[in-house]
Structure 1
Amino acid sequence: MPSQAFKGIKTGGAPLAIIGSFMIAGAANAAPAFSPTSPYMFGDWNGHRTALEDAGVALSFDYTGEAASILDGGYSDSHTLKYADQFAVGANVDLERLFDVPGADVQITVTNRNGHSVNEQLSDPDAVVGGSSVQEVQGRGPVTRLTQFWYRQRLLDDALTLKLGRIPFGDDFAGIDSHFQNLAFGGAQPGNWGNDIYNWPIAQWAAVARADFAPDWYAQIGVFDINDSNLDNDNGFDLRTSDSEGTLFPVELGYTPTLNGLPGSYKLGFYTHDADNRAYGDHLDGRTSDTNTGLYYVVQQQVTARDGDPQRGLTLFSMGNANHGDTARIDRYLSVGATYQGPFDARPQDDAGIGLAYLRVNDDVDDYIGAYNATPAGALSPLPRQGHEVDAEIYYSVNLTNYLSVRPNLQYVANPSAVDSVDDAWVLGTTLSASF
């Protein structure tokens, strides 16, 4: 295949000429570095970046940093400040422009995460099930990973799309546009509360097929390999297929209408897989079960336009997730909220949001905790009883330039880690986002 691809360049001529042109191009109107109107901090590289995109290679260099401090409450009642961040470097390669492969592209993304979260002081360390995170970018440890490495093929005038490779679950399923810092308001919530579903930056060997079968309607199905070794920090670039524990099958039906000229997104999904997980209940025998199923929905609809501008206005959202059986740790999740793009005429690029989320720990987990606490070991060091957690956040995003934004936020966490004996907490946070 590689030899055929390069042979196509020699015979076609056009892709090679386009790539070559960026080496000598110097677009007179290219945005310079640090121009507030450029989408990139370092500008258009004297026109070379745009020439590369025209040739079929779109590069991305993004940074997200999240700071948080507990103002009051939490498990340790600490006012410590913690910072976590992520660098992401990516390339999308348009194979149609480069090698005359119609409707095909490849995505490669490498991420690096670092830092710590105040959840280490916020939550009860002995809790069997963790709650949400007030710094969503901190998850999965300080490590560099190959997060995306997939091939996509569009067929039948884009009515059918096939995707194969290393894919995070949330790339295609249960997604939502979100600027919240709390994990409970981000995308792909089944990956936060369902068993063996891995969100960004974890990738799995997977295949996804999507059919756009009617205007504004689509259906898709995925097949994801379940392999817990993907979570190990030493395996950030490991493409192993050994040690597979089962297969995840998500299905999603989506509707993306434009109502009164305003965009919306409605998603309903189901997933099941056959990997063994711990079965909770009033027993301590370590039994497992391969019954792992769940349902989810995502609703996001813009409902107003500011002064007739559909790029500004109020958007409402809601997400929900229900996990079945005694293997579920969080068996119910629900969130509601609103965002507003361009709240002030003087700052049309700013946005604001408010959200409320509810997480409920499975009753079977609490039955297990009760059984353990009835033993001599539990009497000496009992596990905390768990019920539900409530998360709330309000933020305002100041878009300083097209490539840099600062997003202060205030969060409230009731029953951190779903332990009602832990004091409710107020958390002050700030997100910094930059594109280079």
Structure 2
Amino acid sequence: MPLLIVGSVLAAGTANAYSAFSPDSPHMFGDWGGERSALEEAGISFDFSYVGEAATVLDGGYYDSHVTKYADQFAAGANFDLERLFDIEGADFQITVTNRNGHSANERIDHPGATVSGSLVQEVQGRGPVSRLTQFWYRQRLLDDALVIKLGRIPVGDDFGTIDSNFQNLAFGSDPLGNWGNNVYNWPISQWAAVIRANIAEDWYAQLGAFNINDSNLENDGFDLRTSGSEGTMYPLEFGFTPSPNGLDGAYKLGFYTSNVDNQAYGSRPASSTSDTNTGVYYVVQQQVTARDGNPDRGLTLFTMGNANNGDTAGIDRYVSVGATYKGPFDARPQDDMGIGLAYLHVNDDVNDYIDYTNAMMAGSATPLPRQGHEYDAELYYSFQLTGYLSLRPNLQYVANPSAVDSVENAWLFGTTLKANF
């Protein structure tokens, strides 16, 4: 029966389908002669995208060299509406494959001996040049969507601590839990996981997850779905409020996580010291506060997010960012947007105790490790929506104390993000 439905819809086509490279089309290759829309009607939707990020060091950094680095990501995904296809009420299945390549300007501005990393000036470069199975999950909605269960290979940032962000610097990217938490692997890394969400009221929800932690997920074989070698489980819990006062969307999220994974315990002790006490809290606040000429698709949005991680197992123990974005700043370019953000990252004091201990143990036999404190990140961007499927987003970044080493010269960088949907 589902195949008959797909066939009949494809045959019907779409009279007003976008052609390839039509400037109004949301996809570069258009509607495939109506077949793409027909497949969506039948229950199969596709998402093909490209993100490329360049960063040029204008001044400063560890090497103080004027170099340009480029990193990118290709993503191919498909969602299957199982209710339309197989009459499984309230069910869908998602599969996404990603491929990352390139290098980051952090290689030139960060101290090469830093024990703990700071932020990334090209967030798309994280986790190395490799293809991965990033999403592979089944979702079931129950009780008129009051309860939602999700099972499979899931990046933690798919559901927890999410925020709409167009910044290139990771310090302003979605999910403070995934970016700065202990033993938390975020997109494009996925892990076997389960997420249960209860939509308590129209604007309130609570959700709980269980994510298997396995360092094999970090290896270059991004399609290895092994379960052997598991190190433990991470449990995030999040409460959320999503109001829309006067039609202006908002999101207020408060979360907690804990895991039973053995992690390096910093302090005056060897690197082999571990602890399974890994906990943290995080928050996300994002609220549109104005509409342009009564149009909620344009206007000013404010945001802040942050987290705090537990004692001696935390590399970054405190993080906070604040900023603002504006959609449609000019009447002649209503689809453009712009943003500014400031962020602060603090390296755990126990890391410096470990650094002092290690330097004393290796005195005279190795280059001393640098002490670390805090890093500040700032970014200003303007995004040109060139067509419905293509955007170009130049940005200016400032990194104070790159890799949280205050002896490293503060760095200025010019960046550019290119996004295309196929």
Contact 2:10 2:39 in 1 (8 A): no
Contact 2:265 2:271 in 1 (8 A): no
Which residue of structure 2 aligns with residue 116 of structure 1? Answer: 103
Query: Matched residue of 1:176: which SS?
Result: coil
Q: Quick one: which of 301, 305, 310 aligns to 1:319? A: 305
Matching of residues 46-61 of structure 1 within 5 Å: 46-61=33-48
Provide, for residues 348-392 of structure 1, a one-character-per-residue CA deviation record: whole Å limited to 9, x for no partner: 000000000000000000111112222343675111110000000
Q: Quick one: which of 408, 411, 415 aligns to 2:394? A: 408
Contact 1:373 1:379 in 2 (8 A): no
Which residue of structure 2 aligns with residue 32 of structure 1? Answer: 19
Contact 2:401 2:410 in 1 (8 A): yes
TM-score by length of 1: 0.95
Which residue of structure 1 aligns with residue 205 of structure 2? Answer: 218
Contact 1:18 1:54 in 2 (8 A): no
Q: Which runs of 5+ in 2 are unaligned?
A: none
Matching of residues 72-221 of structure 1 within 5 Å: 72-221=59-208
State the percentage of identical aligned residues.
Answer: 73
Query: Matched residue of 1:407: which SS?
Result: strand
Q: Distance in 1 between matches of 2:295 and 2:387?
A: 20
Q: Distance in 2 between matches of 1:267 and 1:260?
A: 20
Matching of residues 335-374 of structure 1 within 5 Å: 335-374=321-360
Deviates more, 1:284-293 or 1:40-49: 284-293
Q: Distance in 1 between matches of 2:122 and 2:219?
A: 21
Which residue of structure 2 aligns with residue 307 of structure 1? Answer: 293
Determine if the alignment matches structure 1 residue 260 to structure 2 residue 235: no
TM-score by length of 2: 0.98
Residues 163 and 378 (structure 1), Cα distance of their counterparts in 2 relative to 1, 3 Å cut? farther
> What's the C-alpha RMSD, in Å, of the aligned pairs?
1.0
Which residue of structure 2 aligns with residue 4 of structure 1? Answer: none
Distance apart, 1:261 and its partner CA? 2.2
Distance apart, 1:285 and its partner CA? 6.3
Give the letter for the 2:104 counterpart: S
Q: Which runs of 5+ in 1 are unaligned?
A: 1-8, 10-14
Provide, for residues 146-205 of structure 1, a one-character-per-residue CA deviation record: whole Å limited to 9, x for no partner: 000000000000010000000000000000000000001001122121111111000100
Distance apart, 1:238 and its partner CA? 1.0
Distance apart, 1:110 and its partner CA? 0.3
Which residue of structure 2 aligns with residue 241 of structure 1? Answer: 227
Query: Matched residue of 1:377: which SS?
Result: coil
Give the letter for the 2:41 counterpart: D
Give the letter for the 1:254 counterpart: G
Contact 2:301 2:326 in 1 (8 A): yes
Distance apart, 1:26 and its partner CA? 3.5
Distance apart, 1:27 and its partner CA? 2.2
Distance apart, 1:342 and its partner CA? 0.2
Distance apart, 1:230 and its partner CA? 0.3
